[in-house]
Amino acid sequence: MIKPIHLKIGDKVAVVAPSSATDLKSVQNGELKVRALGLEPVMFPTCYTNYGHLSAPDEERARDINNAFRNDDIKGIICLRGGYGTPRILDMLDYDMISENPKVFVGFSDITALHVAFNQICGLTTFHGPMATSNYAKIHGERVDFESYTYESLVKNLFSDAPMGIHKNPNEEQLKSYCRGLGEGILIGGNLTLLTACMGTKYEVDTRDKILFIEEVSEPIYKIDRMLTTLALAGKFNHCRGVILGTFTGCEREKKAYEGGFDLPLEKVIENTIVPFGKPVIYNFKAGHSFPQPTLPLGTWVKIDADSKQVIFTESGVKCN
């Protein structure tokens, strides 16, 4: 794995929209947030266009990403927002060129498909973290007030090579666990819907000897069950060294037609689909579609201890470019 050179104050970073579109005010606020981080945002064309449920046709969205990696003046890439669209451009990216031009790459949600592709095909460490339009700052005119936990985690990851060390949840919330024991390996994963959407393709997540991170938003529990079962049937929990379960924001039990009927609780679904594999599992890990939000360095080495309920990020197994 190659960890790209960390950012410095004043660096130019590309802001691209590889998924869905957003309104102009959100784009302008996103530009303000990136600038308030001490970076010089270069807003790429897809930030200002829309094409139905996408920000632009596939070729244009892929072109922005390829051009951002190809441009020597650009030191990092921050996605504008998620939504939907990244699986459609996976075959259009120049992975050889991207491998030769490793750069900081940040995003989450629909950006999961790009994370997995860059991690596995390019051997590139990427960052699962807030995007330009994410809700981690308040805008007051030209002033940007960042939420401290999200800001500090993002800055530590993007502007430093120092490992994160022992993970701490926001608001002193405690990690929880299933099973027992220690698991360690390279961290991979992201949004559950995107992980399952790429199953059966050459971009399918490879969990062998890795720690699998999973999060989701606004899906009923029975759909969570279906997607986790898909991963289980594909051997993803059998092959991994451990699992980190992030936030499942807005994932509620759906009411059924029969009297008093509801989906199973999420905890029971986890017990049915993941726990039987006997791998150490950390849950209540506050990362995903929730704020405060930590930035996670995907493609770096992580240790999870289900006995002491700890997650520790180290630099073992990673080299800097």
Catalytic sites, residue numbers: 109, 215, 289
Q: If residue 69 lies in a helix (H) or strand (E), which one and from where to where? A: helix 58-70
CB of 32 within 8 A of CB of 15? Answer: no
Q: What is the largest CA-CA distance in the chain?
A: 62
- E strands, 73-164, in order: 74-79, 104-107, 126-128, 137-140, 143-146
Joined tokens for residue 272: 């049915």
Computed from CA positions of residues 139, 56, 39, 4, in that sequence, does the dihedral angle turn out positive or negative?
Answer: positive
**Burial of 142 (C-beta count, 10 Å sphere; 0-12/13-18/19+):** exposed
> Distance (Å, rounded) from C-alpha 120 to C-alpha 132?
25
For residue 154, give the nearest of 21, 39, 309 by alpha carbon. 39
Lookup result for tokens 């020597």 = 72
Strands 165-166 and 176-178: what pairing?
A: unpaired
Cα 269–chain centre separation? 23
> Distance (Å, rounded) from C-alpha 307 to C-alpha 121?
34
DSSP designation for 271: H
> Distance (Å, rounded) from C-alpha 220 to C-alpha 252?
5
For residue 266, give the nearest of 278, 242, 249, 289 by alpha carbon. 249
Lookup result for tokens 């790209």 = 4
